[in-house]
Every structure is written in C-alpha cells, then in structure tokens.
Chain A
Amino acid sequence: MGTTFRERGPLLMCVSVLILSACKYGVAEERTSDIHSSGKDGDRGFDLLPGDEVITTSPEMERLSTPVPEDDTTWSSHEFQIDQGNQSTTQRTFKSIDSASTTVVPSPIIHSHCEKLLKKLGETASHFTRCSILHARPLGLCSGCMYEYTDFGKVFDAITKEEDPTTGEKSCAEVLLASDMTQIVVKTHQFIQSLWEASTCEQCFDIGPEVNGTVSYSLSNNTLHFQEMANKTILCFAQHTNKTGGVSDVCTACKKPYDKLNDLYISLKDTAKLCVDIVDSMNSTRHTWSHRFMCLKREQDTVAVAAIAVGLCILPVFFYIGSKINVEKIEKKLLKQKRFRPLDSASVFQ
C-alpha cells in the first residue's frame, strides 16, 4: 500500500488531494509527533496500539512470523530499506505541508499494524507463487501447496476482517484494498484464488470446521487412497522396467494395480469433481501405460461392424426403389376457376 502511493504519488497527485488524504488518513505516525497537534483528528486511535506486536487474531499467525529460510534474509533487508525510505518520505511530506509548499509530493502513511499485515501478505503470496511453480510439473499444486495457500488466506482474511480498534479511522481493508486504482493486493489475491479454483483443489481435501475464522484443510480419504494406489502402480512400473526393460512384462505384472487404479478413478470421477492432482496423476499414469508401455489392448470388430453397416445402408435404397415401383403417384385434380372474360360474356349476350 505504502509502496503504491510512493511510486505513483509524486507523479500524479496534486497537493490539494494530498492534504485531503492526509486529513482523511489521520496522518498519524508515532515518529511524526508534530502532526498530532496540527491534525484535527490525528490524536485519535493509533497511539492506543501496543507498539509493534499487533497480530493477535489467531494462534496460527505465530507460525507465519517464523523466519523463512534461504533468500528470506535478503527479502527482509530489502523490506527494511523500503521502511527507511518510507519514513523519510513521510517526514518530508509533512514538512512540506507545514510550509505550504507545492513542489514536494509525498504519500499518505498507513498504520504500522496494517503495514505489518501487508508485509506478511507479501511473504505468504511469494511463498505460494514459488510453491505453485515448483509443483507445476508433475502437477501437485493441491497437496503440495496446501499450507502456503492457507497461510496466504489467513493473512488476507486478517486484513479484511481486521476490526479497527478505534472508531473513525479507516480499517486496514479500506486502506490496503480499496484506496487506489491498481489494487495490487486485491489482484494478487484474485490471481492466487483463481489458480486454486482452476485446480479444483477443494475437492482433494476434507475441509474442517471453521475455527477462529480459519478453516483447516486435510487431504481427504479418497485422495489418500488414490495416492496410495497410484504410488503402488508407479512402483510396479518402476520395478518391472528396472529388472528386464521388457515391455510385455510390465503389462502383465502391473495390469492388476493399473486396472484397480483406473476403476477407482472412474468411480471417483462419477461421484464428484476431482482435484487437479488426482486428474493429472491419473493422466500421466495412463499415458505411461498406453503410450510408453503400449499395454492398452483394443480389440477391433471390423468385419462385423462393416457387414452391419453395409447392410443397413443398403436398406434405404431398396426402400426407395420399392416405393417408387409399388406406390401409385398422388395426382392432384385441377379445379376450374371462375374468371371474367369481357368479350366472352359479350358473345354470350348475342
């Protein structure tokens, strides 16, 4: 949020808008105490917050704040720099407002509480995106990125549901989600949501009851069962190709698990929509089975089919010839029309 404004602000916003928005947002920040006296309602609200520890919505949130390995260090340092920049900008902003100068274009401040949520959201979103790409092939988005998705969802929920501790202030949802045209947060959320929905991932899970506004996901029995069977089949494939390399061997040895898996899949498919993990795993197993091992047996019945087809197609020929020979033509008799013929009438006169 803050970043958005910082990037766009200097270019687009005129001062009057700025003053307005500054008043609206209450322009309160702990470090800019001089505003407190000048802003009308600036003294409300944010002072009440207990400093930096703001996220208290659910215990799960604790897990979110645990540091993420690897490149996370660089990420947070980067974040820090931004924070520094943010502070300096804001300070400059209010100086300029004080001096009623029109040259410097600053950005509004968001409350640190919201800012924290925003940071968390960024982290979780990047985790999910990374995870989804790593699980793109072989497709395993649902089972592989379940936690990343729920984490992201929790933070997002926290933003939307965050009750403003003070009245009269804008809630985080308003500030973060609905204050500009680009709507980065909203669009990112939509993207992740659509990815998840396109994969019909919900179908893989048993969705637990809502606790503290969050839902718990766990792989459903069907999914587990299917995965087990699929693993068995793939294991069988691996064992039999490793030993001999002969294809026919695979076909006989693995026919049983493969058929079982196939039947299970078909029965699952009939009852409900399946999540993309299962569909894809089945597809690839099938592909291996029929294209790599050439195990698929297809029995043609060409002679019988051809015979019936030819027989049936000849029928109409006989029918039409027969009807032409046997049936009397319908013939319409013409009716005489009564017409006026002046000269004829005249001749009758005479």
Chain B
Amino acid sequence: MAARQDGGRTVLASDERTPLLHNRRCRQESIGIDNSIQFDPEEPDYDSVIYSPEGSPEKESPQEKVTEDTAKLLSAKYEGLDYDLVENSLFVKEAAANNKKLIRININRWVVMLMIGILTALVGVLIDIMVHQLAGLKYSLLKSWIDSCVEKGCLSIPFALWVAIDALFVCFAAILVAYGEPVAAGSGIPQIKCYLNGVKVPHVVRIKTLISKVLGVVFSVAGGLAVGKEGPMIHSGAVIAAGVSQGMSTSFKKDFKIFRYFRTDTEKRDFVSGGAAAGVSAAFGAPVGGVLFSLEEGASFWNQALTWRIFFCSVTTLFTLNIVLSIYFGRPGELAYPGLLNFGRFTGVSYFWYEIPLFLLMGVAGGLFGALFNFVNHKICIFRMKYVYKPFMQVVEAMMVAIVTATLAFVSIYISRDCKPLGQDESEKPLQFFCSDGEYSTMATMMFQTPEQSVKSLFHDPPNSYNIVTLSVFCVIYFILACWTYGLSVPSGLFIPSLLCGAGWGRLFGIGVSHLLPTIAWSEPGIYALMGAAAQLGGIVRMTISLTVILMEATGNVSYGLPLMLVLLIAKWVGDIFNEGLYDIHIRLMSVPILGWEPPATSTTISARQVMSHPVTTLQQVEKVGRIVEALKEPHSNHNGFPVVDVPDETDLVTSGRFRGLILRSHLLVLIKRKMFLERSQTGAIRKNLQMKDFREAYPRFPSIHEINISPEEMECSIDLRPYMNPAPYTVSEDASLHRVFRLFRALGLRHLVVVNKDNLVMGIVTRKDLARYRLVSLRSLDLEELQMSH
C-alpha cells in the first residue's frame, strides 16, 4: 500500500499503480523557479504511460518535453567514478605477483602526497605573487593619477583609467574561462565536491583547467571583482593531485612512466581528496580544516590511513607556502605567512561570556543574509543559463560587472568625506583623495585594495577607524556586487566576498552595541567583524565542521572556537529554513547526480524494483563481438557496466538471465581494441593474455567505440568475458528498500549495483542517477520529488 502525498494532502491509495512519487506538482511548487516543462493538462498521468519491457514507449515520447530549469534535471553527461575495485582474475593474479611491490606502492603514496603538497603550495605562492604584483602596479598607477588629478580637477581621467584597467583584466580572465575551459569558472568547490562524491565531472581535473583557473583568478582578483582566490586554490590543489598522482598528462601527451599503479579512479580520487585538503591549507593556513573539508565533502567513510596521508599533505603545503612566501617578502624563515588569506593575529581580550548571545543573534542575521544571497544568486544564475550562455556574451557580462564594480568603488570614494589621520601602521597605499594632507579616505582603504587586505583592515583596525555610514554603504555595495559576481564566467572564490560583507556588518553591529550600552565592557569591533564574517559565510555555504576549524585556524586562536561554532551552527539552521547552501544550489544547477550523506527520510517505502533501470542490457559469458559493439553503441544509454549472465530464457521478459558477473565498458573497449577474440587465440595470433596494466594504460581517456574499426568478419567473432569480468560484484535483492540501496551505494562508492531476484536472475541495475533522482522537495518537507534525465 502506498501513501500518496499530494501537496501536503495524504491520500491512501488502494491501487498498486498509484505511484509513491509523482513528479508534477511538487516540481512546479518547489523553490518557485520558472519552470517550463510543458505538461499538457490533457495528457494522461505519467504512470499510465505504458512501457514495454524493451523500453520503447507506447504513447508520447518524453523526448518532446523540454525544460530549462537544470536544477530539476540530472544530466546524462555525468558519470560515476569506479571507486570499487574490479576483482577479476587478472586483478587477483596481479595482486598475487605484486605482494612485494605493495610496500613500494605504499611508500609512493606518501611520496605523491608530498609532491602534491609542495606543488600546491607553489601554485598558491604563484597566485599570490602575481596578484600582489598586478594589483600593486594597478593601484600605484591609479594612485599617482588620482594624487595629481585631485589638485588639477581631472578626476574623470583616473576614473576612466580604473574602469578600463579592470575591464581589461577581467576580460582576459573571462576569455580564459569562456573560450579556454568553462569548468574553471566559479570557485570550483562545487565541482570538487561532486568529484569527491564520486561523479566524474568532465574536464574538472585537467591541466588546462588548472592553467585557466590560476591565470583567470589572478586577473579577476587584480581586476577588482568582488572575488577571492581561496576557492580556486582548492580546485587547483585537486587538479595538481590528479595530475601528479598519474605521472602523466594526457593533454600534453606526456607520460613519465611513473606511478602507473595509481592510474585508477580509486587511487586518483584518494589523491584528489589530499589535493583539495592541500588547497584549503594553502588558502587559509588551515591544515586540519583542509583534512576535515576533504572528509566532510568527500570521503564516504573514515579511512584512517588516507586521513593521515591527507593531513601529511596539507601540513606540507602549509610549511612550503610559509617558507616560500617568507622568502618572497624578504624575511626568509620567519614563517609568518601561513596562508593566502591571513586573518592576522587577534590580540587583547578574546570576548566576554555575556557576548555569546549577541554572537548567536549575529548567527541568525548571517543565516538570513546568506539565504537572501543564495536566493538572489540562484535567480541570477538561472537567468544566465537561459540567456547568457554564449562565450562571447559571458565575456561581455564579466566585463560589465567589472565596469560597474570599479564605478561603484570610485563613486563611493568620491562621495565619501570620511577621513582619518594617517597612523603609523597604515595600509599599503592610503588614498588621500579629498581628504586633507596627512589624512586618508577610509572608504578608499576598503575599496582601493584587494579584498584580502580589506578583510584584514576590518578585523584589526582600531575601534574608531570607520564611521557608520561608510561601513553601511560598503556592506550594501559589496553584498550586491558579490551576489552578482558569483557565477560569472571567471574563476571566483566565494569566501572573501562573504567574509568581507559579513565583517562589514559585524563591525557595524559591534559599534552599535558599544554605542547603545556604553557602560558595559565590550570586546573590540574587530571581534564582531570576525563573527559577522563567519555568520555570513556560514549562511551562504552552510558548511559546518570544516568551516569552523578553517576559521579557527585562520584566526590562530582556539578560544574563538566556541563562538565561531555556535555562529556557524545558527547561521546554517536559519539559512536551511529558506534554501540550500550556495554550493549545493550550483551543483543542482549543473544537474549533477550527487548523493547526499543520508538517503531521503521516506525512502524505506520505495523498493529496489522502483529504483532500478529495468530492462538491462546484458552480455553472455562468451559473447559475439557484434553484440558487444551494438551494446556499446546504443545511443541513448551510455552504459558503463554490463551484467554478464548465463544464456537467458527468451520467454522471460522480466528478468535477463542468471547473474554471473559484471564487466565494465572500459574493459570491453580495450578488449575490442586489442582484438582479444576467441578465434584469434585459437589460431595462435594472441600470444599472451591481457594484464591489468593494459587496462590502466588507456586510463583515463578510453577510446570511443566509434574510433575503433571492426570489420564485418570480426563482428562475427566472440570474446570470452570471464577473465575480465568482476565475478563477485555487489548485488541487492529486488525487495531491498531505497534506503538500503542508498547506504550501500554511498558507503562503498559503488558505480553499479545489480538487482537480482530470489533465483539470482538479473532484474535491473541501479546506478547513481537512479538514486539521485529521488530528492526532497525542500529541506523543510519530507516530500520526495523525482528528477528527470536530460543530456
């Protein structure tokens, strides 16, 4: 019996046919996105459309339906990673022969982690130095113009110059991304999250992506956009990890012939989690935060040895970055530069216990602002995906944002009359503007420097450095700009703009509190700025433990752990009432079949029968080449695993033969390419059998079936799949619940799960997309929605 939930109304259905899920109304109600799936009111219910077991639709073809809301789709272009090892006979043979090699492989795992750590740090340093130099050039040029023009009355010239420089820089960044590697856009954290979750995001760990990302982020930061370089740093770390661990570059067609045994999805994913941790470590000087980030976002289960290696990697990064930066800044060995984003040292009283409720209040505000940010950014991104998708337009749009950013910055400095006397420790290039000699414009200190420095100023400047109007204007402007900027076709980190915006209103809050109740001792407004920054960031990205530890490590003060944790917790809870974290929203927009930590709550009522894909393309143990090629060429279903069965009973249309094993598409491709046909081995044309390394050689870009030439005679040959198939893959009974299937899948990092009936006959196959299509309508409800597939 199924309980049908319809817009909160629960109807007990007596008919088996009544679907547990129905995908029409919930979809249209949810989140309020413009949804253009054209369902005809006259059209019969989805569940009454009858499909034959062969899968040809008897009524209308769903191909006619179109939608533009990609958040409600799963894209077929994303495939799963083969995290589970294929224990076929070759593998067993190799494992037996390699017993002694295992130690060397284990040592090499550490060596690779060390290399990843060092290289990530060097890339971080490269980014930092390039931003430092470029921004330095830009700001000193503009400063000299402004200083002379403020006397002569030609301020429109530096204004125009500023706008032009920014537009040029950002144009460069956008071209790199739009024409170079579109996947390098944004922070890269959503993509890395997907990868660590087990989804192969095309191009995400290629060297070309790394180059676009690194150069792009340098130019977008130097171009004055409201972006940071921290998210891209994490992505860069991941790419470096993927590249180093493979000992080759497919893009450059260069094979160093090392680390060949790491050329599998399993090993690569483990190293990528190390690289992501190294990226966090380089970005924030937070090695433990990096490890936790990798675990929180990626690892399916706690792998003790891997965790230890990841930690080694991120500490290596921290140390290398520190050393190299200290040399660059002319104080070799001082180790005072733990990360790209350095919050600086907080001194004095940490906070008073009675301030904690205030911090919680700030957490609520952060959650609300974060939810607003996500909502607006979601809308903007949907618009972009609909209308601004051509590379040319993406470049123009990025330039528009850069122009407006520079304009707003200049105008706000122009209008602001907030001057403060120059202190001893002033920012690098204080801008005098209309202020008297010996004073500087406070608005300019926030607008006329890279965002990292502005964050530091907000955290550490003494209590009376900013007046309220300046701060409010800055906050509002930055919030709007950050919201508009994220999702542009430039590499752009989200951390810095969020922190900056939050630090702005946090500082305002602190100033307000001490004005309202001047008799009580309050901590410095810098502390409030820190809490505001945490709340804003937590409200936007909704990360929990890793973000707390990252911020704690970035401040270098453990005593902030408690308030930071509380603030992030509250911000997440409040934000979750309204929408998801921004990274999750972007993952949805990419239509990635990502699996959450937990199966949907009501999933126990759904059985594997409903989840699985039903008529399965199966192969026999000894199969005709023609049949294999046909299966591989099937256009609609780019299957990657095929159950291998005994000769099926032709009259049984429900099952597809007794289950014997599972063979991967990649293995079949290699077999056909090597022409490992039975007929040839009988004639002695094949001297030796294939080994595991032959399969690894083709990794990670296996040939397409269309690239392999097969003559009609060869089509008639047959291949014995038994040595190559995995004879004991995970299977699940057809009666298992979605809940159970989900747990098995998530915990073991599976790609295929064969569903069998009580006689071990293949009923269907469950892949990631079959599971990911069940999703809660919103975080508040228990209703499930079912997503559609698209290309």
State the A residues within 8 Å of B (CB): 198, 200, 262, 276, 279, 282-283, 286-287, 289-291, 296-302, 304-305, 308-309, 312-313, 315-316, 319-320, 323-324, 327, 329-345, 347-349
Contact = CB atoms under 8 A, between A and B. Distances in A.
A286 B437 contact: yes
A334 B654 CA distance: 25
A276 B424 CA distance: 8
Q: Number of contact residues on B: which range applies?
A: 35 or more
Contacts of A319: 396-397, 400
Contacts of A262: 437
Interface stretch (B145-153, B501-509, B516-524): B145-153
A303 B36 CA distance: 46
A309 B614 contact: no
17 contacts: A283-B438, A291-B436, A298-B151, A298-B434, A299-B150, A301-B154, A312-B404, A313-B404, A316-B397, A332-B68, A334-B65, A335-B63, A336-B62, A338-B615, A340-B612, A342-B654, A349-B653
Contacts of A302: 414
Interface string B160-172: 1001000000000
A348 B614 CA distance: 15
B780 interface: no
Contacts of B790: 332-335
Contact of A341 (B50, B61, B396, B400): B50
B93 interface: no
B67 A329 contact: no
The dominant DSSP class at the B interface is mixed
Contacts of A304: 155-156
B791 interface: yes
B63 A336 contact: yes
A118 to B, nearest CB: 33
A334 B73 CA distance: 8
B403 A341 contact: no
Nearest to B70: A332
Contacts of B66: 331-334
B642 to A, nearest CB: 14
A262 B437 CA distance: 9
A340 B609 contact: yes
A68 to B, nearest CB: 32
B52 interface: yes
Contact of B51 (A286, A287, A338): A338
Contacts of A320: 383, 387-388
Contacts of B422: 283
Which of B62, B70, B156, B437 has the largest count of A CB atoms less than 10 A from its CB?
A: B437
Contact of B421 (A198, A283, A341, A348): A283
A313 B159 CA distance: 13
Interface string B503-535: 000000000000000000000000000000000
Contacts, number: 178
B410 interface: yes
B411 A299 contact: no
Contact of B411 (A289, A309, A327): A309
A259 to B, nearest CB: 10
Interface of B: 16-17, 36-37, 47, 50-53, 55, 57, 61-63, 65-68, 70, 73, 76, 149-156, 159-160, 163, 383, 385-390, 393, 396-397, 400-401, 403-404, 407-408, 410-411, 414, 421-422, 424, 434, 436-438, 591, 609-610, 612-615, 636-637, 653-654, 763-764, 773, 788-791
Given A313-B407, A334-B37, A341-B51, 8 more contacts: A305-B414, A327-B387, A330-B68, A330-B389, A336-B57, A337-B788, A342-B654, A348-B653
Contacts of B16: 342-343
B386 A329 contact: yes
A286 B422 CA distance: 11
A338 B613 contact: yes
Nearest to A349: B653
Which of A319, A329, A332, A348 has the largest count of B CB atoms less than 10 A from its CB?
A: A332
Which of A323, A340, A341 has the largest count of B CB atoms less than 10 A from its CB?
A: A340
A312 B407 contact: yes
A338 B55 contact: yes
Nearest to A290: B436
Contacts of B612: 340
A260 to B, nearest CB: 14
Contacts of B154: 299, 301
Contacts of A337: 613, 773, 788-789
A324 B55 contact: no
B610 A298 contact: no
Nearest to B636: A335
Contact of B52 (A332, A335, A348): A348
Closest 6 CB pairs of A and B: A299-B153, A290-B436, A304-B156, A286-B438, A340-B614, A286-B437
Contacts of A312: 163, 403-404, 407
A347 to B, nearest CB: 7
B156 A323 contact: no
